[in-house]
Amino acid sequence: MRKGSSCAARYHKIQMLRCFRIVTALVLGLAAASAWEDPHKKDVGDKNLALRTPEAIAAGGALFASACAGCHGRKGEGGRGPRLNEGYTIQGAPDDRLFSSIKNGVKGTSMPPFDLPEIQIRELLGFVRNLSAPAAEAPAPGNAEAGSALFYGKAGCGGCHSIRGRGGSLGPDLTNVGAERSLLRLRATIMAPRLLPSGDYRGARLTLKSGKTLEGVLRSATNYEYQLQSADGNLHRLAAEDLKEVVYREGPVMPSFANRLSATEIDDILSFLARQTVRPRVSD
Amino acid sequence: MRAIALILAAAAALTAQVRYEDIVKGPGVNWLTYMGDYGGQRHSPLTQITPANVANMSPKWTYHVPGANHLEATPLVYDGVMYMTDANQIHAIDARSGRRIWVYRDGAVKRQSPNRGAALLGNKVFFLTSDCHLVALDRRTGALLWSKEYASLEKDGHFATMAPLALKDRVIVGVGGGDGGIRGVVIALSAETGDELWRFWTVPAKGEPGSETWSEFPLEYGGGATWMNGTYDAQTNTVYWAAGNPWPDQFGKPRRGDNLYTCSMLALDGATGKLKWYFQFTPHDTHDWDAQSIPVLVDLPWKGTTRKVLLHANRNGFFYLLDRVTGEFLSGTPFIDKLNWASGIDAKGRPIELPNIEPTPAGRYICPSLRGASNWMSPAFNPQTGLLYVPTLEQCDVYTVSETVPEPKKEIMGGGSEPHNGLPGKFYLRAIDPLTGKRKWEYPMTGGAESWAGAVSTAGGVIFFGDDDGQMVAVDAKSGHHLWHYTMGQNITASPIVFSVDGKQYVSIAAAADVYTFGLFEPAKPTPLVPTRTGN
């Protein structure tokens, strides 16, 4: 309730600002007026229109639920309108293009124009950007310390993944995963891992003509040669002519954790992963 | 499954590591440092490819580095895996086939400088990001172990382009930025943790010895960058590192004096970083003749006794022979035909300067050019012929100066230079007898004087080098006669290496955007498909 009323009060304030803006615009010209009107402008610059403070994201989320979710899905997962929580269409689009799509609509589609005050469009952008933001930039969903204990303990992630040299090597290194993956993508991978389109890290058992067997993940494979990494981290370079058989593992090496961990535990691990960046996070 | 896991665990214990002792031994099957060995000789003992069969050399594979247009790295090879770098990225490649095994990129770096390569030690591979982070990765998997900032791009204008130099337990690094008013430094970092062990500033602090050679110039902008990696004598635990030019490059008036330790060779104690000796090639330089060409360490008979010497084909046009234990000057001889700024080198090793050599606002005609008679492109030394093979540029420039002190950290040199009459110079590969400084032979190149390519020597008697026209060329080490060439269709800005996998000798070189690998011709072998299935 408190949230709702403060939102209403905020809206009222924006309306007042809007009236003032029209008057001021007549006097000072539009550019000067919008600079005065917008308290965030000096921080974000013209190209970064999305407002990314927790308050702005929350306000944008409330507006999204009422104005956008009908077509784009409650969590931006898409529906009548395109998916907004990941993918090149959204992540590759600059703020000013998205701003214009909301303000003016998109011709030739069913996306209508939204006659909203600039600040609300920017809050919407903040919310939408946050859906696909690198995990390191998003609010943590759980407890990172608990997540660390799970990662190297009960959940067993560290058996295959390493972070700053600690952990196994059958899965991708996760030292920079917080900067490279969104929470959404990380969660999806933990719940339902998939084979990588590149073929990297595909589980395989290679039987040599000598009778020797090697097991691990493929880092590269062609019809002529294989580069296999075993659980000890060592690399084996093999020529096709020396191989008797290659058995690919069915599905990804990584198991699903949907039924192995509780929702809280997964949130904790996500929070831990979100902290993993090679360079310090902006918030650190 | 369990049995296999046990077998694999046992195998891991036996896994070979890149041992310091192996790096000391020098190249063989592997190519473990930027220059192959610690001494900078760039000489491979492999003999499979010879003047008699090099005509059969053919391309084996090409590896494209996505986004690259100016590759400057010398690849490393260990146990059949090649490590190749470019700005803020490193690739592990199967050296038999050119297949990528892994790639590591640091996408957060705001600067994209050229990168000259990696260093190997134990199970680690090291390289430097453009903003001076020493990055340590597991060489087998590409997993990041740590990334440590050793100098600041933002605060001090330092950046990195070199390949780090890994010693027994430490990694030696330097900084670029000498054309923008920085203070150069050589730093040793722990190979285990990246923690700093020592540092040596190439421009002394106020009151320290050498500071009196700067008049009143602010020493924190003096220059003396350390942007190229040095060489190392394991016997005496001495690191040889070149210091770059003083700043502002062409404007010498505000920094009267010799400007120590710019344009110098530094002999640093590997354990402590203490200066053992220095030798300044170009006191009070005003032509950007930093001392960055590779200091080559060899033992040679000098006047009846074997001396540990250092060979250096300096940018200023003189070839130097120094005693590398004491720093004593032994000889200095021009290795270019056109040299008009000094009449020679005196008994103590100081150039005998001619009058009126400093750049003027209207322009001063000086040879060699600003790019120097040679530069960071690698020379090679062949112990069998006793010759040093030096990529050499004959070019004269008109040097100008802007007589105001430029603002530091803006990468402004305080002047300019251009080829005299707009005519670019000409590149040669010159074979120099280090004992006399005399030229044994030379091989002229065609091209626009834009090469940054070096050479490699082999015990098979063949010298390979990248020329000024996008070609890799093989010549006879003794005579300089052409034996083989291959056109890569792009400029070469790196030096070749020699290695062997599964008993086959290869030669690799990076051109602008790709790594090329060559070997003796073998007919293709039809490869039957391996039976594959999916199952658990």
Mean pLDDT of chain A: 84
Two tokens at A154? 């009960």
8 Å CB contact of B12 and A232: yes
Mean pLDDT of A231-251: 95
Establish whether B337 is a catalytic residue: no
Whether A165 and chain B come into contact, CB under 8 Å, resolves to yes
Residue B412: its pLDDT value, please?
Answer: 76
Cα Rg of chain A, angstroms: 24
User: How many Cα atoms are found within 13 Å in the side-chain-facing hemisphere of B519?
Assistant: 18
Q: Which two tokens stand for residue A94?
A: 């600059």
Q: What is the ipTM of this complex?
A: 0.88
When pLDDT is cut at 50, 70 and 90, the band that residue A49 belongs to is confident
* Pick from B4, B12, B527: CB nearest A241: B527
Q: Which of A241-255, B379-393, B406-420, B486-500 has the lowest mean pLDDT?
A: B406-420
pLDDT digits 0-9 by tens, B67-93: 999 999 999 999 999 999 999 999 999
Query: Please, are residues A214 and A230 in contact by the beta-carbon 8 Å criterion?
Result: yes
CB contact under 8 A, A279 and B106: yes
Instruction: Flag whether pLDDT at B400 surpasses 50.
Output: yes
Closest chain A CA to residue B536 = A249
- Residue A184's pLDDT is 92
Which helix or strand (DSSP H or E) is residue A121 part of?
A: helix A118-132
B9 to chain A, any CB pair closer than 8 A? The answer is yes
Question: Residue A77 gets which letter from DSSP?
Answer: -
* Nearest-angstrom CA–CA distance, A99 and B267: 60
pLDDT for residue B101: 96
Summarize pLDDT for A244-254 with one digit per residue, the tens: 999 999 999 99
- B-chain CB neighbours of A229 within 8 Å are 140-141
| Confidence class for position A282, pLDDT limits 50, 70, 90 | low
Q: How many residues does this entry show for chain B?
A: 536
Report, as an integer, the average pLDDT of A104-108. 92
Q: Which residue of A has its CA nearest to B13?
A: A232
* CB contact at 8 A, B500 and B36: no
Closest alpha carbon to A39 in A134, A118, A146, A143: A118
| Separation of alpha carbons B17 and A279, rounded Å | 29
Q: What is the pLDDT of residue A283?
A: 55
Nearest alpha-carbon partner for B75 in B91, B64, B59, B60: B91
DSSP secondary structure code for residue B183 in this structure: B
- Over residues B338-392, the pLDDT tens digits come to 999 999 999 999 999 999 999 999 999 999 999 999 999 999 999 999 999 999 9
| B43/B385 Cα distance (integer angstroms) | 11
Residue B223 has pLDDT above 80, yes or no: yes
How many angstroms separate the CA atoms of A181 and B107, rounded? Answer: 13
* Strand, coil or helix: A278: coil
What residues in B contact A169, CB-CB < 8 Å? 138, 140-141, 143
Residues 173-212 of A with CB under 8 A from B: 173, 175-176, 179-180
